[in-house]
Amino acid sequence: MSLSDYLSLQNIPETLKPIVSKLEKKERITDDEALLLYRDADVNLLGILANFVRESRFGNKTFFNRNFHIEPTNVCVFSCAFCSYSRLYKNREDGWELSIDQMLHIVKKYDGQPVTEVHIVGGVHPKMDLDFFCELIRAIRAHRPDLHIKGFTAVELDYMIRKAKLSLQEGMQKLKDAGLQSLPGGGAEIFNPEIRAKICEDKVDADGWLAIHKTAHQLGMHSNATMLYGHIESYEDRIDHMKRLRDLQDETGGFNCFIPLKFRNQDNDMSNIPEVSIIEDIKAYAIARLYLDNFAHLKAYWPMLGRQNAQLMLSYGVDDLDGTIDDSTKIYSMAGSEEQTPSMSTDEICDLITAVGRIPVERDTVYNELEVFA
């Protein structure tokens, strides 16, 4: 059945017909049109449209990688209201701080295993500076040169580079020379300054976040982008957030993928805010797929969303599930995700994908295809 056949079965509201016809012709939609989709489109229509875009790019292919995380510390000088993970610098009862040797020990646990990526992200510890992280990266590279090092949110980078009194270009170049290859997408939250003032007032702002990713792209590094949704932000805020990302992507082309992150409300200063429903998750993912026409990949990060909901999102525009993880991250288990010990074997992740009629494809960090599990 073609897209037009499917659409002829839908009762499409008049307001949405011009948008549907634009999407069919693979034309870019405007901010107002994205807002109309948020307001008027039901999940059936969103699924058909987002799936059309996804399948015209990748068919049934669904990407994953074999990776693990290192979280150097959960001590953090910042105080984001949604964070369940950080322990304030002066109140460190259950905080951890890993030495370079301890982190290298984690890397060595994977000797002989076919992992391709280490994802390094954590709190912002005042004593873990740029030189410390360059040394860590060099030590990992020396031990295992084939492992792609994806590390540090713009929040961590902004802090360590400013503290080293270097320009962004100098700081990022130093990290690149040490062996850092790409940046994860964290720290973006919601760019609107009014929302940021309420949920993460003291860390890098939107312009700073975008400048760091732009600098990375100019140095030839790739990066991801996230959006923390489902708290106090409006649909307009989400679209404004994605607009800033779409504009930067037009300029640099350096983003690999977009990752909507669902706000989880356990054990943080925003616990009074209920978590949004699966319908809202579907809208966030499907509309991201339709609006961000210049982002190749849309990732459902299963440790946060839960594996079944991540699997469901494969019908709403998602083409990537991130990785096997091996129970190496605590950010989401501490925030209340049902995935308390996030780990999937390659067989499990492939089963999740094939169960909904898709084809698992192992990728590396920059989406080179390594193996098709047909």
The correct pick among 72, 123, 151, 184 for binding ligand SF4 (CB under 6 A) is 123
- Whether the CB-CB separation of 370 and 364 falls below 8 Å is answered with yes
Q: Give the Cα separation of 37 and 14 in Å (integer).
A: 12
The correct pick among 137, 300, 331, 349 for binding ligand V47 (CB under 6 A) is 331
Residue 46: phi, psi to the nearest 5? -60, -40
Give every CB contact of residue 366 below 8 A, 6+ residues apart in sequence: 148, 182, 222, 256
Interaction of residue 76 with ligand V47, rule CB under 6 A: no
Please calculate the CA angle 186-189-190 and round it to the nearest 5 degrees.
145
Sheet (strand 61-65) strand order: 320-323, 61-65, 359-363, 369-372
Supply the minimum distance, in Å, between the C-beta of residue 153 and ligand SF4: 7
Interaction of residue 37 with ligand V47, rule CB under 6 A: no
The correct pick among 117, 156, 189, 233 for binding ligand V47 (CB under 6 A) is 189
Alpha-carbon Rg of the chain, whole angstroms? 20
The correct pick among 84, 181, 249, 328 for binding ligand V47 (CB under 6 A) is 84
The correct pick among 52, 63, 68, 85 for binding ligand SF4 (CB under 6 A) is 85
Interaction of residue 181 with ligand V47, rule CB under 6 A: no
Q: Give the Cα separation of 285 and 133 in Å (integer).
A: 33
Interaction of residue 160 with ligand SF4, rule CB under 6 A: no
Give every CB contact of residue 49 below 8 A, 6+ residues apart in sequence: 20, 23, 41, 286, 290
The correct pick among 82, 133, 302, 316 for binding ligand V47 (CB under 6 A) is 82
For residue 74, give both structure tokens: 């959960």
Q: Give the Cα separation of 59 and 53 in Å (integer).
A: 9
The correct pick among 171, 184, 306, 342 for binding ligand V47 (CB under 6 A) is 184
Q: Which does 301 bind (CB under 5 to 8 A by kind): ligand V47, ligand SF4, none?
A: ligand V47
Interaction of residue 49 with ligand SF4, rule CB under 6 A: no
Residues found near ligand V47 in the complex (CB under 6 A): 82-84, 153, 184-187, 189, 224, 226, 228, 259, 261, 263-264, 268, 301, 322, 331, 335
Residues found near ligand SF4 in the complex (CB under 6 A): 76, 78-80, 83, 85-86, 123-124, 155, 200, 203
